[in-house]
Amino acid sequence: MTYKEIQNKGEKDLGIVIKNCWIADVKRELGLVTKTAHNRISQKEVKYPCPDGPIKEWLLNILKVQ
């Protein structure tokens, strides 16, 4: 599933716009990211982590299926 597909599904299911950084944060948590973005400021810090709660749970469920 692409980021755009995840965002569209999030808007349909949750009624909110899912940020790219939230998707990347959850993917990192699940070990699905193999490289780091070239423009990332800090390798150890995440500027906009995915908020805990229903959004994160929804993303975890969507990305685990892949």
The two three-digit tokens of residue 28, written as one number: 């990192």
Q: What is the pLDDT of residue 43?
A: 80
Q: What is the pLDDT of residue 12?
A: 96
Burial (CB < 10 A; 0-12, 13-18, 19+), residue 19, is: middle
Q: What is the pLDDT of residue 23?
A: 94
Q: Which residues touch 47 (CB under 8 Å, ≥6 apart)?
A: 21, 41
pTM, two decimals, is 0.86
Asked if pLDDT for residue 2 goes beyond 90, the answer is: yes
pLDDT in tens, 11-66: 999 999 999 999 999 999 999 987 888 888 888 888 889 999 999 999 999 998 76
Q: What is the pLDDT of residue 40?
A: 82
Angle at 58 between CA 9 and CA 51, to 5 degrees: 110
